[in-house]
Amino acid sequence: MLWLLPVLPLAGAVVLLLLGRVSDRWGHWLGCLMAVASFGVAVWAFTDMLGRAEADRAVHHSFFSWVPVAGLQADFALQLDQLSMCFALLITGVGSLIHIYSVGYMSHDPGRRRFFAYLNLFLAAMLVLVLADNYLVLYLGWEGVGLASYLLIGFWHEKPSAATAAKKAFVVNRVGDMGLAIALFVMFATFGSVDFGQVFAGAPDTSEATLTVLGLLLLLGACGKSAQVPLQSWLGDAMEGPTPVSALIHAATMVTAGVYLIARSGPIFDLAPAARTGVVIVGAVTLLFGAIVGCAKDDIKKALAASTMSQIGYMVLAAGLGPAGYAVAIMHLLTHGFFKAGLFLGAGSVMHAMNDETDMRRYGGLRVLMPITFATFGLGYLAIIGVPPFAGFFSKDRIIETAFGHGGAMGFTLGMAALLGAGITAFYMTRVMLLTFFGERRWHADAHPHEAPAIMTGPMILLAVGSVFSGGMFVFGSSLQNWLEPVVGTGHHAEGAPSALVVSLATLAVVAIGVAIAYRQYQMQHVSEVAPVAVTPLTVAARRDLYGDALNEAVFMRPGAHLTRSLVFVDNRGIDGIVNTTAAFIGGLSARIRRVQTGFVRSYALSMFTGAALVVAALLAVRLM
C-alpha cells in the first residue's frame, strides 16, 4: 500500500483538473478527502512499522524500470523508513488540516476547485520526494514541488505582484535545482548509479574532493528549496499566495525539502568535512539573517516568512553538525510544522476578519474579539520562542545545546549565533503578538473583526495542541533519537561542552530579554499606524531584506543582462553578420551577372564569336611558341 501515499492526492489533483467546472460544487471536499485518506495510509504504515523489528522496518518497493539504458539503470522505486515516515506523517497530517481550513478560507473564491487541485498536487509531489528510493525519483518530486509552488504562489495571477512573486520563486529555485541536477551527474560518473544504497556504499572509497563537490552541490539544491542564504530572496514574496499556501509551504512541505535532502545524504556529508562546514555556515548565517529581517516587517505574513527562514536555518545548522545533529534537526522540523502552520493559519484568521489587511500596525486589541485565534496563535508564539514546556523549548534548545556540544571555537561560535537568534526570535514574535492582539485598536472604520468559522478554528486548535505537546513527546525517553538512529546514526558531545541545564537557563534568559525589549517598545509606548522613518542603518537594511534583492541584482541580474546583450551583439553583428554579408555578396554578384543575359540573339552571337576568336588566338599563340 506504499504507492497509495502519493497516488491518492495525485488522483485528486487529476480529477479536479480534468473535470473542470463540473466539480466546482464538491471539488474542495474531494481534495480534503484525498489528503485525509493519504494521512490514514500514513498512520496505518506507521502502526505497521512499529509492529516490526527494528531491522525490518524499512520497506522498499520497485514499481517499474524507469531508465533502462546500458550505463544507467534507475527504477521508479519508493522506500519507507524511519526518516521518510516522519515526513509522511507531517506532510499528510498537517497538510490535511490545511486542506480543511482552506474550505472556509477560500469559500468565496471562484477558483476554489483549482486551488484544491494544486494543494493535492503539492502533497503528491512532496510525498514522492521523501519516499524516493533513489536520487532520480527524488528529483522528480523535487521538480513537482517547484511546479506546485509556482502554481499556488501565483494562484491570484491577475495580480501583477502575485505573478511576479511566482516567477521569482520559480527562477530562484531553478538555481538550486541546477545544483541538484549536476549532483546527479557527478553521482552517475562516480558511482555508476543514483540509487541511495549504491551511492552511500561507494562513498567511503571515493576521494574527499569528489565528496566535497557533491556535498556542496546538494547544499546548493537545499538552499533553493529551503530559502537559505544566498537563495532566500523568494520566500518573502511568496506571501502573495493565499494564506493556506503559506502555511503549507512554510510548515509541512517545500522549505523542509532541503533539510530532508541533507539528512538523507548524511553518509556523503559525514565524509566531507568541508561540505559540512559549508552547511553549518549557511544555517548560522540564515538563522540570524531571517531573525533580523523579521524584526522590521509590519506585514504579519512577511514577519512569519522571515521567521520560517530563521527556523529552517536552525535545522540546517543542526544537520550540518553530523550524526549528533540529524535527529535534532528533524525534531525541530516536526515541532516547527505544528507551531508554524498554526501561526500562519492564525494570521489567515486575522486577515479574514480584517478585510485582508496584513499591516499589523492597523490591528491591535483583537484578543477580545477573536479569543480562539488569540489562544491558538498565542500557544504557537510560546512554542516558537521556546518557553517550557512548549514544543520549541525542547527542539530549539537541543539545537543550541548540540551546537555548543560540537566543541572548540566553531562550536562556541555556532552556539552563540543560535543563542542570539533565540533572543531575536523572542523579540520579533512578541512584537507580532503585541501589535496584533494587544494595545489600542488601530483598525479602520470599515473593519469588523470577528472570530473565524469552526471549519477554520478546528484545525487551528489541533495545531495548537501539537505546539504544546509534540516537543515533550519527541524528547521523552529520547524517543525520536532512538527512532531515527538506524537511518541517521547518533553522535556525542565534545568534552567540556556546557551542560543541557546551563544551555537551557542561558537560552531562557536571552528569550526573556528579547520579550522585555519588545514589551517596552510596543506595549509601553504608543504605536503609530505608519512605521516611523528608519534612523539606523540596520533598520533600513532589515526593511530592505538586508539588501538580498539588491545583491542579486548587482551580482547576478545586471552582469547577466550585460552578458546577454553582449551575446546578442555578437550574434547580430558577428554570426548573423557573416551570414548576411555572404548572402549580400552572392546576391550582388548574381545581380551583376544577370545583366549579361540581355535576351538578344545578336548579343549572344557576338559573345560566341568573341569567345571563339579568343580560343583561336590562344591556340595560335601556343603553336608559335
Confidence of residue 570 (pLDDT cuts 50, 70, 90): confident
Cis before 537? omega within 30? no
| Cα–Cα distance for residue pair 31/12, rounded to 1 Å | 6
pLDDT recorded at residue 478: 67
Confidence of residue 294 (pLDDT cuts 50, 70, 90): very high
| Cα–Cα distance for residue pair 462/375, rounded to 1 Å | 12
User: Phi first, then psi: what are they for 171, rounded to 5°?
Assistant: -70, -45
Confidence check: pLDDT of 33 > 60 = yes
Q: Which one, of 262, 264, 234, lies nearest residue 250 by Cα?
A: 234
pLDDT more than 90, % of the chain? 74
Q: Which one, of 175, 267, 289, 268, lies nearest residue 222 by Cα?
A: 175
| Cα–Cα distance for residue pair 475/74, rounded to 1 Å | 38
Residue 4's Cβ-count burial label (10 Å; 0-12, 13-18, 19+) is middle
Q: Are 410 and 494 in contact (CB under 8 A)?
A: no
- Using left for φ > 0, alpha for ψ between -120 and 50, and beta otherwise, residue 450 falls in beta
Q: Are 423 and 513 in contact (CB under 8 A)?
A: yes
Q: Which one, of 411, 381, 361, lies nearest residue 526 by Cα?
A: 361
Q: Are 79 and 197 in contact (CB under 8 A)?
A: no
The DSSP symbol for 600 reads -
pLDDT recorded at residue 297: 93
Q: Are 342 and 382 in contact (CB under 8 A)?
A: no
Q: What is the pLDDT of residues 458-483, one digit of tens each?
A: 999 999 999 999 888 877 656 888 89
Q: How many residues does the chain have?
A: 625
Q: Which one, of 138, 269, 130, 145, lies nearest residue 194 by Cα?
A: 138
Q: What is the pLDDT of residues 223-272, one digit of tens each?
A: 999 999 999 999 999 999 999 999 999 888 899 999 999 999 999 999 99
Average pLDDT over residues 184-189: 95
Q: Are 368 and 279 in contact (CB under 8 A)?
A: no
Q: What is the pLDDT of residues 518-556, one digit of tens each?
A: 999 999 888 888 888 877 888 889 888 998 888 888 888
Q: Identify the weakest region by mean pLDDT among 33-37, 217-221, 351-355.
A: 351-355
Q: Locate 74 and state its grid cell.
A: 534507475
Residue carrying the nine cell digits 524500470: 65
Query: How much is the pTM?
Result: 0.90
pLDDT recorded at residue 561: 86
Q: What is the pLDDT of residues 336-394, one digit of tens each?
A: 999 999 999 999 999 999 999 999 999 999 999 999 999 999 999 999 999 999 999 99
Concatenated DSSP letters of 258-279: HHHHHHHTHHHHTT-HHHHHHH
pLDDT recorded at residue 412: 93
| Cα–Cα distance for residue pair 220/248, rounded to 1 Å | 22
